[in-house]
């Protein structure tokens, strides 16, 4: 039964003496450990947006750049998530690294990255991925998977090996105003620390699990 599935978290702890004062530094530390631990898809993150009817939507995207400026991902600007962002630029991110028994939640605002940045990243992708950005009318109804394959062939014939970046494709950067770091602990007494921006500084609070 689902109600009988349980795991007692025993990997580690997070306390006041250990946590770093800057949430970006703490995130970088945990992300590096997730990558080094061979965590499957360590850069995968849940992106949550809200549509015009206040209906939340969540999906997995991949983190492609991380700096003190924020968290960058790339997508089709004509898809559902982009339409929702255009309506409401308040978003949330969530990272979960099961083998480390850790979760990070981030809330903030999102905006498009510079076009030159998107173009540079686009041309760093495998050519197959470049062609897919043209071939897929993201979030629209299509007749079959074969339709996508035919579209790839069409654009391959059109562009050859010199594929331009579509105007409808590019990056977004999420600029956080809060972070929450969660470390699983035994008997559900988990460690939770909230970072909130207050008067230009990060305020750190421990939360009950």
Could you list the active site residues? 188
Q: Give the closest residue to 55 by CA, choosing from 88, 27, 9.
A: 88
Query: CA geometry: angle at 32 spanning 59 and 94, to 5°?
Result: 25
Residue 198 β-bridge partners: 201
- Whose tokens are 């978003």? That residue is 91
Q: Give the closest residue to 100 by CA, choosing from 179, 10, 22.
A: 10
Would you state the structure tokens that stand for residue 203, as one six-digit string? Answer: 């305020």
Q: Which residues contact 194 (CB under 8 A, 6 or more apart)?
A: 178, 179, 180, 204, 205, 206, 207
């Amino acid at each position: 039964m689902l109600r009988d599935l349980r795991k007692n978290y025993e990997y580690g702890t997070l306390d006041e003496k250990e946590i770093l004062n800057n949430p970006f530094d703490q995130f970088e530390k945990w992300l590096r450990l997730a990558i080094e631990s061979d965590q499957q898809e360590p850069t995968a993150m849940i992106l949550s947006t809200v549509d015009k009817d206040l209906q939340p939507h969540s999906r997995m995207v991949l983190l492609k750049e991380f700096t003190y400026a924020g968290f960058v991902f790339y997508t089709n600007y004509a898809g559902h998530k982009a339409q929702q962002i255009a309506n409401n630029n308040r978003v949330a991110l969530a990272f979960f690294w099961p083998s480390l028994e850790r979760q990070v939640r981030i809330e903030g605002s999102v905006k498009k990255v510079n076009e030159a940045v998107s173009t540079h990243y686009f041309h760093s992708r495998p050519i197959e991925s470049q062609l897919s950005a043209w071939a897929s009318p993201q979030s629209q109804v299509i007749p079959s998977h074969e339709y996508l394959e035919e579209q790839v062939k069409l654009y391959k014939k059109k562009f050859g090996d010199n594929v331009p970046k579509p105007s409808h494709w590019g990056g977004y950067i999420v600029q956080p105003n809060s972070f929450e770091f969660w470390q699983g602990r035994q008997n559900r007494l988990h460690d939770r620390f909230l970072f909130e921006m207050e008067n230009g500084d990060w305020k750190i609070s421990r939360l009950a699990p």
